[in-house]
Amino acid sequence: MSDKSIRFEGLIHGGDYNPDQWLDRPDVLPEDLRLMKLARCNAMSVGIFAWSSLEPREGEFNFDWLESVIERLHAEGIRTILATPSGARPAWLARKYPEVLRVTADGHRRRFGERHNHCYTSPVYREKVGIINRELSSRFGRHPAVILWHLSNEYGGECHCDLCAQAFRRWLEGRYGTLENLNRAWWNSFWSHSYSDWDEVDPPSPLGETTVHALNLEWKRFVTARTVDFMKFEIAAVREFSPDIPVTTNLMGFSEGLDPWEIAPELDVVSWDSYSGWHGTGTRTVGKGEWDAQGRDWRLAANVAFVHDLNRSLKSKPFLLMESTPSTTNWQAVSKLKRPGMHALSSIQAVAHGSDSVQYFQWRKSRGSFEKFHGAVKEPALEEGYRRRRG
């Protein structure tokens, strides 16, 4: 267990900053710094999905751009929450080492794409994550600007590869001791489901077993345990060179699949991402907030308050609002703008329930790819449109 404090006084205000998307625009960072100061931002989360920019080819590291960003932020009084990049692996890693890609419940190995498409059990993936985490830690782990490690991003998902199946069997053996105990506890005599060898136990799959309740429950517990084990591996890697910097990872409220009570003891600070569907979107923001199908903001506000309180309770101390949107999302069925005053109101609600921060995803809007329609603090397309209308 761990309980280090963030070396920072006051409320953290900032958000996810992804300058690696703008390395071809030397004019962007100075303008961002100017606007961050105007917005009274004092901390930025950097490097969350930057692996391909930090290690464009295996063993070839490029940290100079990151060092420049951290130094220039620090010169303006803005601290850095430094991320490990394990939430999205580069294409070279997936191509050269296909074992790092997850296998679905029906036995298909995923191809490269999206994010969180990696096996937490894979020795190769752990090796590569450990290498880049230690490289980051050795270079920036004692930098005065770095106040917090942001582990990966929204841990989640499961893998059904042979490595994970074998790990599941060993995990069950540790819990039950003998197959006799497992068979008795699971009532496996029904339908002649009793096992005679540990290797006969498979994870739930539509190609095999999905109706044994105990199997389904233990698999969910194992997925949490495997995720926590991987997270502890990441923590050990960054602490090798920065033992005093606290760690967090952004949880997702009531997200199905992971037990936050098992994750929280390993963290110094709890944080979570809140994307609530205000003003009658009628959509469920699974895992990152709550919703009300009739669009009643008062009911939604009560639900969000409950999730804030959940995160406050995980370590019985203040948490961080790691991500929120200052405007819209790109993935709700109807991504509405917030009404005037709503952003301030929802932010103050988080603080009132114990948050030591108000942070956004993201600072500068992406100019392409999946979340190009996701709102941001700085939206260049809107600014350009405004300038054109002004003549």
Residue 377 is assigned to a structural domain of this protein: yes
On whether the pTM is more than 0.75, the answer is: yes
The pLDDT of residue 104 is: 96
Q: In the predicted model, is pLDDT for residue 366 greater than 90?
A: no
Residues annotated as catalytic (active site), given as ranges:
154, 323
Residue 308: helix, strand or coil by DSSP? helix
- Structural domain contains residue 188: no
Q: Classify residue 173 by burial, with Cβ atoms within 10 Å: 0-12, 13-18, 19+.
A: middle
Domain that holds residue 117: 12-157+219-390
CB 358 within 8 A of CB 321: yes
For the segment 235-240, the average pLDDT, to the nearest whole number, is 97
CATH code, domain carrying 148:
3.20.20.80
Asked whether residue 177 is assigned to any structural domain, the reply reads no
Query: What are the pLDDT digits (tens) for 55-93?
Result: 999 999 999 999 999 999 999 999 999 999 999 999 999
Does the residue 3 lie in any domain?
no
Instruction: Give 211-221 pLDDT, tens digit per residue.
Output: 999 999 999 99
Report the SS3 class of residue 282.
coil
Confidence of residue 139 (pLDDT cuts 50, 70, 90): very high
Tokens matching residue 79: 């601290």
Q: What is the reported pLDDT for 381? A: 54
Task: Give the C-alpha separation, 52 to 240, whole Å.
Answer: 23
Residue 1 inside a domain? The answer is no
229 within domain boundaries: yes
Instruction: Write the CA distances from 199 to 29, 34, 78, 193, 206, integer angstroms.
Output: 55, 60, 53, 14, 19
* Cis status, amide bond into 362, omega within 30 of 0: yes
Q: Specify the pLDDT at position 390.
A: 53
Q: Domain total for the chain?
A: 1
> Between residues 3 and 183, which one has the greater pLDDT?
183
179 part of a folded domain? no
Please say if the pLDDT value at position 39 is more than 90.
yes
pLDDT above 90 (res 287)? no
pLDDT at position 283 is 46
Which range has the worst mean pLDDT, 7-21, 45-59, 143-157, 288-302?
288-302
Q: Quick check: is 211 in a domain?
A: no
| Rounded CA separation 170/165 (Å) | 9
